Amino acid sequence: ELKVEQNPLFLSMQEGKNYTIYCNYSTTSDRLYWYRQDPGKSLESLFVLLSNGAVKQEGRLMASLDTKARLSTLHITAAVHDLSATYFCAVDLSTGGFKTIFGAGTRLFVKA
Amino acid sequence: DSGVTQTPKHLITATGQRVTLRCSPRSGDLSVYWYQQSLDQGLQFLIQYYNGEERAKGNILERFSAQQFPDLHSELNLSSLELGDSALYFCASSTRQGYGYTFGSGTRLTVV
């Protein structure tokens, strides 16, 4: 069974600081996604990573994928308060039907 | 507006009752996915349909069922409701598997 683990699950950081969220998964997959969810809102797609070594950047967020290590990182550069949200990674599983399994989410709070 | 429409936005019902949640996918998307988000279980994959056919099943209870109609909208039926079924139910759609989803705004179900 595919397991997707994120850490940390909760992160409180100061504005201007850098930090990395980690996403490990247990089964071979070459597709990984990052989503953002604001409290009480829907999930917004941030990044789609489709191959080993993929790196994508949008503003202060950068995501990377290492399929051999089964690891993705979401790096936050010079955090601002507006980045406060819950970040989910998700991995595709293509056995037993096609499914996307989500991690538990990392709740990020950026203090002004 | 993501293009994925879910109704109703909020639903309060009593234990033992049955409810139907509705989802219209983004125009052109053939796949519909249902997810349940609760505080203790995180985001759980329930079921996927592609062009009217069930494609994958996750942790969906026997009391729950879903279908996708010829016009591609989908309904999730929840019966014999229990307090523990209280959660946010998200529908998502995609054009092709493996390229991420677009999520609807969710239906918040409260069972009292």
A43·B45 Cβ contact <8 A: no
The answer to whether A27 touches A2, Cβ cutoff 8 Å, is yes
Q: What is the mean pLDDT of residues A59-77?
A: 95
Cβ-Cβ contacts under 8 Å, A101 against chain B: 45
Subunit contact B105:A42, Cβ cutoff 8 A: yes
* Cβ-defined contact of B98 to A42 (cutoff 8 Å): no
> What pLDDT is stored for residue B25 in this prediction?
96
Bridge partners, B76 (sequence order): B21, B66
Short-list B99, B88, B80, B100, CA closest to B34: B88
Lowest mean pLDDT among A35-49, A69-83, A89-103: A89-103
Q: Tokens at residue A48, please? A: 């789609």
pLDDT in tens, B18-40: 999 999 999 989 999 999 999 87
The pLDDT value given to residue A20: 97
Q: Which residue has the higher pLDDT, B15 or A40?
A: B15
* pLDDT mean across residues, chain A: 91
Burial class (CB in 10 A: 0-12, 13-18, 19+), A58: exposed
Query: How many Å apart are CA B57 and CA B75, to the nearest integer?
Result: 15
Specify the pLDDT at position B42.
84
pLDDT at site A109: 96
CA distance linking residue B108 with residue A80, whole number of Å: 30
Partner-chain contact B101 A100, CB within 8 Å? yes
Q: Which residues from chain B sit within 8 angstroms of residue A45, using beta carbons?
A: 100-103
Chain B residues 48-107 with CB within 8 Å of chain A:
48, 55-58, 90, 92, 97-106
Please identify every stretch of chain B with a pLDDT value under 70, giving residue numbers as ranges. 97-98
Does B43 contact A at CB distance below 8 Å?
yes
Give pLDDT, residue B41. Answer: 76
pLDDT at B22: 98
Which residues in chain A are contacts of B90 at CB distance < 8 A?
Answer: 42-43
pLDDT at A8: 97
Q: What is the pLDDT of residue A28?
A: 82
- Averaged pLDDT for residues A104-108: 95
pLDDT at A95 exceeding the cut of 80? no
Residue with tokens 């879903």: B66
Are B98 and A101 inside 8 Å of each other by CB?
no
Give the model's pLDDT for residue A18.
Answer: 97
Measured between alpha carbons, how far is residue A40 from residues A18, B12, B72 in Å? 26, 16, 27
For B67, the enclosing helix (H) or strand (E) is strand B64-68
| A106 has a pLDDT exceeding 80 | yes
